[in-house]
Amino acid sequence: MRSSGFKKRIGVARGGPSPEYEVSLKTGKRVLSLEIPGYEWRDLFIDKHGVWYLNGVAKKPSSVLNNIDGVFNALHGTYGEDGGIQEMLDIFGIPYTGSGRVASALAMRKDLSLNSCTKEGIQIPMTLLVREGNTRDDILLFSKKVSFPLVVKPVSSGSSVGVSLVSSEEELEAAVEYAFRYGPAVLIQEYIKGREATCGVIENFRGEEIYSLFPVEIVPHFSNFFDYDEKYGGKTLEYCPGNFSKEEKKELQKNAALIHRSLGLRHYSRSDFVVNPERGVFMLEVNTLPGLTDTSLFLLELEASGISFEEFVSHILDGIF
């Protein structure tokens, strides 16, 4: 409920100690550019070392949080999506956008979120969780069981950071080593050949408890794999609504809503899938705070659904008070 007496001061948290720092800066900049009735922005910048700044002045987090009424969480990845900042905001009783601490931590761990969603009947690729204690034999046994190509990714990262598609044992070992740069555990997955898709959802919108947006179809430009370079290279083809059959579209939207609900997420999220013509729809991962930059897929979905960015942000802010 908006106050009629004053504007609520909203800190737009952006930056942070994450490989997705640059994407977060762009998301935050886009939010800060808006004028939303009943609210006024405060630039809550967090640098790569975790130092907080309020409107350009370095301050202790407690000082910042004592001078705002709420937070629009525009952070991505580490600290922003793993429950880190959420825990601090909960301690200070500051309302914020996006999922809560426990749900964020669960969704950030790809192994845990995938396992949770399989209990809801959602298909996932065959997966091996690799920790530093795993032997080389464990990895090679999985590669022989599933066969190449395989996908290797950090267990906790977004924006396709640290992700590789490999076609040999030599490439597999190098990819696992590379993925370990981004965390203490790695997933090795069966590569599902098919069309990449993503589908966002918004809570309590247009009369629905969980409103599913139109799915996007992603066609990589350089390869058949949507990695970090493809995602931010600016040449990937993205169609919304995607060229999916009525049944595929329905399945993507249903699964996106089911993932959001089953993981206990809040306000909005976006789930990534691959659609195989014979085997159906497979979940790849979920994004609890999808990017909101000029080129972000979530904004493409909003536009296709006839929702302005201002309407979306206003709706999300209204939901935290």
Residue range 182-205, pLDDT digits in tens: 888 999 999 999 999 999 999 999
Residues 313 and 230 sit within 8 Å (Cβ to Cβ): no
Residues 118 and 138 in one domain: no
User: Hey, which residues does 285 pair with through a beta bridge?
Assistant: 272
Asked if residue 1 is part of any domain, the answer here is no
Please determine, for residue 227, whether its predicted confidence score (pLDDT) is greater than 60: no
Residues 119 and 265 in one domain: yes
Residues 224 and 196 sit within 8 Å (Cβ to Cβ): no
- What was the pLDDT predicted at 160? 72
- pLDDT band at 135; cut points 50, 70, 90: confident
Residues 61 and 199 in one domain: no
> What does DSSP say about strands 280-287 and 52-54: parallel, antiparallel, or unpaired?
unpaired
Q: What is the CA radius of gyration of the chain?
A: 20
Residues 97 and 68 sit within 8 Å (Cβ to Cβ): no
The answer for residues whose C-beta is within 8 angstroms of residue 111's C-beta and 6 or more apart is: 127, 129, 155, 185, 187
Residues 295 and 207 in one domain: yes
The region of weakest confidence among 9-13, 143-147, 224-228, 292-296 is 224-228
Residues 251 and 149 in one domain: no
Number of domains in the chain: 3
pTM beyond 0.95, yes or no: no
- What was the pLDDT predicted at 306? 97
Residues 247 and 110 in one domain: yes
Q: What is the mean pLDDT of residues 158-162?
A: 72
Q: What is the mean pLDDT of residues 249-267?
A: 98
- What was the pLDDT predicted at 4? 47
- pLDDT band at 270; cut points 50, 70, 90: very high
CATH number of the domain to which 207 belongs: 3.30.470.20
Please determine, for residue 156, whether its predicted confidence score (pLDDT) is greater than 90: no
Average pLDDT, the chain: 92
| pLDDT over 70 percentage in the chain | 93
Residue range 77-123, pLDDT digits in tens: 999 999 999 999 999 999 999 999 999 999 999 999 999 999 999 99
Closest CA to 250 of 214, 202, 208: 214
Q: What is the mean pLDDT of residues 171-181?
A: 93
CATH number of the domain to which 142 belongs: 3.30.1490.20
Residue range 29-70, pLDDT digits in tens: 999 999 999 999 999 999 999 999 999 999 999 999 999 999
Please determine, for residue 229, whether its predicted confidence score (pLDDT) is greater than 60: no
Please determine, for residue 132, whether its predicted confidence score (pLDDT) is greater than 90: no
The answer for residues whose C-beta is within 8 angstroms of residue 244's C-beta and 6 or more apart is: 195, 197, 215, 217, 252, 275
Asked if residue 163 is part of any domain, the answer here is yes
- What was the pLDDT predicted at 258? 98
CATH number of the domain to which 37 belongs: 3.40.50.20
Closest CA to 151 of 200, 118, 182, 188: 188
The region of weakest confidence among 8-12, 233-237, 257-261 is 233-237
Query: What is the domain extent for residue 80?
Result: 8-96
- What was the pLDDT predicted at 129? 95
In this structure, what token pair is assigned to residue 231?
């995602």
How many CB atoms are located within 10 Å of the residue 156 CB?
22
- What was the pLDDT predicted at 1? 38
- Residue 213 burial (10 A CB sphere; 0-12, 13-18, 19+): buried
Q: How far apart are CA 44 and CA 25, in angstroms?
A: 11
Please determine, for residue 125, whether its predicted confidence score (pLDDT) is greater than 90: yes
Residue at a domain's end among 145, 172, 190: 190
- pLDDT band at 254; cut points 50, 70, 90: very high
- pLDDT band at 236; cut points 50, 70, 90: confident
Residue range 274-293, pLDDT digits in tens: 999 999 999 999 999 999 99
Q: Name the 3-class secondary structure at 261.
A: helix
Residues 152 and 166 sit within 8 Å (Cβ to Cβ): yes
Residue at a domain's end among 175, 190, 205: 190
